[in-house]
Amino acid sequence: MHGFEVALLPMNLLWGAIGVTLGTAVGVLPGVGPALTVAMLLPLTVKLSPVGALIMFAGIYYGAMFGGSTTTILLNTPGESASIATALEGNKMAKRGRAGPALATSAIGSFIAGTIATLLVTLLAPLVVEIALKFGPAEYFALMVFAFTTVSAVLGASTVRGLTSLFAGLFLGLIGIDSQTGQPRFAFGVPELLDGVDVVVLAVGLFAVGEALYVGAYASRIPEVMDKITGSLWMSKSDWKRSWPAWLRGTAIGFPFGSIPAGGAEIPTFLSYAVEKKLTRFPGEFGHGAIEGVAGPEAANNASVTGALVPLLTLGIPTSATAAILLAAFQNYGIQPGPMLFQMQADLVWGLIASLYVGNVMLLILNLPMIGIWVKVLTIPQPLLYGGILVFATLGAYSLHESVVDLATLYVFGLLGFAMRRWDIPVAPAVIGLILGPLAETQFRRALSISQGDPSVFYQHPISATLFALTALLIVVPWVMRRVKKTRAAQR
Amino acid sequence: MSRSAAPRRSRTEVALSIGVLVLGVGTAIGTVLLPSQGGYARIGPNFMPGVTGAGLILLGVWLLYEVLTGGWRNMPPQDAAARGEHSFHAPAFAWVSVGLFAHMALIQTGGFVLAGAVLFACVARGFGSPRFLRDLAIGFAIALAVFAFFVLVLTVNLPAGWLAPLIRLAGIE
């Protein structure tokens, strides 16, 4: 409860409000997802106190998600894979002149899911901390390998491309001074590289510069069609009646997926969509703008994103690109999330968690009435929009160390992002690999130095053995299932 | 149509797969050159590079194998129109790149505002805006506003460039 005293300080409330507003304003821009929004707005917080900065970040995070949903519904351009399910029905609703209720059910659903999920984080985090305190380096390493596998090999269209992205990120994580021995690695004599590759530069390069190059080259000469908000902004009685069970089911599906260190709001949103489609009493409306199809996935998305704070805060393991950037923001303040954080800096953690409640409320009361303004942001012509995005992207990269080398690196990552986008290589595993790779290496070497070089620590400790077994199952089972399907198809 | 597109597609896939392989080999070579002092039982600063290099080599081979056996799996349609896009427009790609290089060249001498304005106008040009000078003016206004906000409100240092004497005159510093 002390957390609320921190979060409700007038200054912190102000930072939260600024965060929510800016997050929405940037997140609503087409092509700008939550990860990029958080990365681009990072320089804004450099001069703030850690608590103020993290509270502002929580606001940006929620605002960016809300802004992204608005764009998805009105423009049918999902900024991230977790929004695809929303686009299915949301854009159909907008086309039928029901954009208002679609936006409302998305905003209120996100609020309810976010609030319930934050409550669950509050209850669950101390329990996870209890368990995490018993973890040694071997368990942490196993957990990180598990997270690597789920974000790269299991999600996405291709296991090999996901793993390639992950290993590219691991390679980038090697660059710089080895934290254990002080040995420079892969710095090629460039002093700026000794500090390592910054996650923000990688994320902004891949997401903003790569996206600008891609959209410019392949989609800059296509007129965009936006659906106007016509009719009532408010939901009718039947909208409410159909929305609230979907919100609750979406939350129930989203939170568990977010809180296990596996990541990705993609699966729960599609799962929620499928569940709503199955349970609806209006099956004829699905595919033509059914409100449950917006309410469920939006709630699932928000619950899963909030749930992802459990592994991030208690274990220090990010499971999405956005969480990876949040972790980088923590590290900028010299804060390493993990079980110790709850003991050493309880004020900060509980202040942050309390500010999530506050941020949710703010989002609802600030943004719903301001929807008209956010829709205007969407009408910015594409040339000016991308000009502005790149001005902010370069600002974000440059202000980290005031170095032109960072700008050159940014462009190289932009080319990489372009190629990855064009040849369908997922980007998030690279970002997670960059930040989690060095942490995994540290845990691995620590585990082996404690055991004096005996690798049996990894399979003799029951927890790490279980995690490794689960990881192996995650890789083998889908592969076997595909084989079985293939031979069955061949027999027919 | 699709027959002529297929070989080009696999050519890029070959190039990218080989790129991954080369990165893996490079990492492996770099690993060998690293001293392995410190740590127990071969677990020094060269352990993780070794794992990464080996992984990249394996993945490069795997990607090549997919190319040779019918191309990368589950790819989006090769035809741009089928993805709802137009074919590769080189000038747009070039204008965005030129803008970024100009920004790098200008930021420390010309200052944040000038570099930002040029970047903005180049990118807008690449996205098909015909009015370069108007875009330059808009970019200038945006960059100036951002500059003022960062320097005055957030007290974050950004290179002032030609603005520096003016700022000193106004006595803001």
Q: What is the pLDDT of residues B70-113, one digit of tens each?
A: 888 888 877 777 777 888 889 999 999 999 999 999 998 889 99
Considering only the beta carbons, identify the residue of B89, B108, B158 that sits closest to A404: B108
Same domain membership, residue B74 and residue B6: yes
* A161 reaches B (C-beta below 8 A): yes
Q: Give the mean model confidence (pLDDT) for residues A207-234.
A: 80
Domain extent at residue B165: 90-170
Residues of B in contact with A382 (CB under 8 A): 127-128
Report angle CA A438, A449, B42 to the nearest 5 degrees.
80
List, as ranges, residues 175-214 from A with C-beta within 8 Å of B. 178, 180-181, 183, 185-186, 209, 212-213
Q: Is the pLDDT of residue A224 over 90?
A: no
Same domain membership, residue B78 and residue B57: yes
- The chain A residue lying nearest B142, using CA atoms, is A388
Q: Please state the domain count of chain B.
A: 2
| Alpha-carbon distances, residue A177 vs A183, A187, A329, B38 (angstroms) | 5, 8, 20, 14
Per-domain residue ranges of chain A: 2-491
State the Cα–Cα distance between residues A282 and A241, nearest whole angstrom.
13
Q: Give the helix/strand (H/E) hosting A184.
A: strand A184-185
Torsion angle defined by CA atoms of residues A102, A107, A113 and A117, in that order, rounded to the nearest 10 degrees: 150
Alpha helices in A192-335 (DSSP H): 199-204, 210-219, 237-259, 266-279, 292-307, 309-310, 321-332
| Most confident by average pLDDT, A32-41, A469-478, B142-151 | B142-151
Instruction: Test A407 with B100 for CB contact under 8 angstroms.
Output: yes
Instruction: Test A383 with B125 for CB contact under 8 angstroms.
Output: yes
Plot region of B86 (φ>0 → left; ψ -120 to 50 → alpha; else → beta): beta
- Of B83, B103, B119, the residue that ends a domain is B83
Considering only the beta carbons, identify the residue of B52, B89, B101 that sits closest to A217: B89
Instruction: Look at residue B4 in the predicted model and tell me its pLDDT.
Output: 42
CB A340 within 8 A of CB A71: no
Which residues make Cβ contacts (< 8 Å) with residue B41, sequence separation at least 6? A448, A452, A453, A454
Instruction: Look at residue A2 in the predicted model and tell me its pLDDT.
Output: 65
- The number of C-alpha atoms within 13 Å of B65 and in the hemisphere containing its C-beta is 8
State the Cα–Cα distance between residues B163 and B173, nearest whole angstrom.
12
Q: Is the pLDDT of residue A476 over 80?
A: yes
Instruction: Test A218 with B142 for CB contact under 8 angstroms.
Output: no
- Of B83, B105, B134, the residue that ends a domain is B83
Instruction: Test B44 with A44 for CB contact under 8 angstroms.
Output: no
Q: Is the pLDDT of residue B2 over 50?
A: no
Torsion angle defined by CA atoms of residues A97, A383, A78 and A226, in that order, rounded to the nearest 10 degrees: 10
* B69 reaches A (C-beta below 8 A): no
Instruction: Test A220 with B89 for CB contact under 8 angstroms.
Output: yes
Q: What is the pLDDT of residues A186-211, one digit of tens each?
A: 888 788 888 889 898 999 999 899 98
Q: Is the pLDDT of residue A77 over 60?
A: yes
> Which of A65-79, A149-163, A312-326, B4-18 is least confident?
B4-18
* B39 reaches A (C-beta below 8 A): yes
Plot region of A406 (φ>0 → left; ψ -120 to 50 → alpha; else → beta): alpha
> Which of A23-32, A246-255, A432-441, B148-157 is least confident?
B148-157
Tokens 């409550």 belong to residue: A119
State the Cα–Cα distance between residues A265 and B159, nearest whole angstrom.
40
> Which of A218-232, A258-272, B139-153 is least confident?
A218-232
Q: Is the pLDDT of residue B6 over 90?
A: no
Considering only the beta carbons, identify the residue of A213, A222, A394 that sits closest to B86: A222
| Coil/strand/helix, residue A103 | helix
Residues of A in contact with B157 (CB under 8 A): 402
- The chain B residue lying nearest A455, using CA atoms, is B41
* A407 reaches B (C-beta below 8 A): yes
Same domain membership, residue B48 and residue B7: yes
Which residues make Cβ contacts (< 8 Å) with residue A276, sequence separation at least 6? A246, A249, A250, A290, A292, A293, A295, A296, A297
Q: Is the pLDDT of residue A311 over 80?
A: yes
Residues of A in contact with B12 (CB under 8 A): 423
Residue B136 to chain A, least CA–CA distance (Å): 10
CB A99 within 8 A of CB A228: yes
User: What's the token pair of residue A431?
Assistant: 């970002």
Rg over CA atoms, chain B: 25
Considering only residues A471 and A263, tell me which one the structure prediction assigns the higher pLDDT.
Answer: A471
* A234 reaches B (C-beta below 8 A): no
Same domain membership, residue B77 and residue B98: no
**Inter-axis angle of helices A382-401 and B90-106, nearest 10:** 40
Plot region of B135 (φ>0 → left; ψ -120 to 50 → alpha; else → beta): alpha
Residues of A in contact with B156 (CB under 8 A): 43, 46-47, 399
Q: What is the pLDDT of residues B17-59, one digit of tens each?
A: 999 999 999 999 988 887 765 545 557 788 889 999 999 999 9
Mean residue pLDDT across chain A: 86
CA-wise closest residue to A13 among A46, A71, A58: A58
State the Cα–Cα distance between residues A25 and A2, nearest whole angstrom.
31
Q: Is the pLDDT of residue A293 over 80?
A: yes
Q: Give the mean model confidence (pLDDT) for residues B145-167.
A: 81
Q: Is the pLDDT of residue B68 over 90?
A: no
Instruction: Look at residue B5 in the predicted model and tell me its pLDDT.
Output: 45
CB B112 within 8 A of CB A376: no
Annotate A23-48 with b (16+ C-beta within 10 A) or e (fewer). bbbbbbbbbbbbbbbbbbbbbbbbeb
- Of B53, B83, B113, the residue that ends a domain is B83
Residues of A in contact with B30 (CB under 8 A): 185-186
State the Cα–Cα distance between residues A360 and A108, nearest whole angstrom.
10
Considering only the beta carbons, identify the residue of B38, B119, B127 that sits closest to A180: B38
Same domain membership, residue B132 and residue B60: no
- In sequence order, the β-bridge partners of residue A177 are A184
Instruction: Test A395 with B112 for CB contact under 8 angstroms.
Output: yes
User: What's the token pair of residue B170?
Assistant: 């106004």
Same domain membership, residue B97 and residue B42: no
State the Cα–Cα distance between residues B97 and B122, nearest whole angstrom.
9
Q: Residue A277 CA to chain centroid, in angstroms?
A: 26
Q: Which of B8, B31, B86, B96 to mutate to test the interface with A (most CBs of A within 10 A)?
A: B96
Residue B67 to chain A, least CA–CA distance (Å): 12
Same domain membership, residue B102 and residue B77: no
* B146 reaches A (C-beta below 8 A): yes
- In sequence order, the β-bridge partners of residue A176 are A185
Report angle CA A64, A67, A73 to the nearest 5 degrees.
140
CB A239 within 8 A of CB A291: yes
Q: Which of B58, B100, B155 to mutate to test the interface with A (most CBs of A within 10 A)?
A: B100
Considering only the beta carbons, identify the residue of B45, B62, B159 that sits closest to A185: B45
Q: Is the pLDDT of residue A46 over 90?
A: no
Q: Which of B29, B123, B147 to mutate to test the interface with A (most CBs of A within 10 A)?
A: B123
- In sequence order, the β-bridge partners of residue A184 are A177
Residue B137: how many other CB atoms lie within 10 Å: 14
| Coil/strand/helix, residue A185 | strand
Place A440 in a pLDDT band, splitting at 50, 70 and 90: very high
Instruction: Test A399 with B150 for CB contact under 8 angstroms.
Output: yes
List, as ranges, residues 61-80 from A with C-beta within 8 Å of B. none
Residue pairs spanning A and B at CB distance below 8 A? 221
Tokens 């595919």 belong to residue: A287
CB A61 within 8 A of CB A352: no
Residues of A in contact with B139 (CB under 8 A): 387, 391
- The chain A residue lying nearest B135, using CA atoms, is A384
Same domain membership, residue B94 and residue B79: no
State the Cα–Cα distance between residues A189 and A109, nearest whole angstrom.
52
| Alpha-carbon distances, residue A306 vs A216, A217, A356, B10, B166 (angstroms) | 33, 35, 9, 41, 47
Give me the amino acid identity at A335.
I
**How many residues comprise chain B?**
173
Residues of A in contact with B115 (CB under 8 A): 394
Residues of B in contact with A185 (CB under 8 A): 30, 34, 45, 49
Q: What is the pLDDT of residues A393-438, one digit of tens each?
A: 999 889 888 889 999 999 999 999 999 989 889 888 999 999 999 9
Same domain membership, residue B94 and residue B61: no
Instruction: Test A391 with B139 for CB contact under 8 angstroms.
Output: yes
Same domain membership, residue B104 and residue B70: no
Same domain membership, residue B97 and residue B78: no
State the Cα–Cα distance between residues B161 and B146, nearest whole angstrom.
15
**Inter-axis angle of helices A159-174 and B47-68, nearest 10:** 150
Q: Is the pLDDT of residue A132 over 50?
A: yes
- How much of chain A, in percent, has pLDDT values that exceed 90? 23
Mean residue pLDDT across chain B: 84
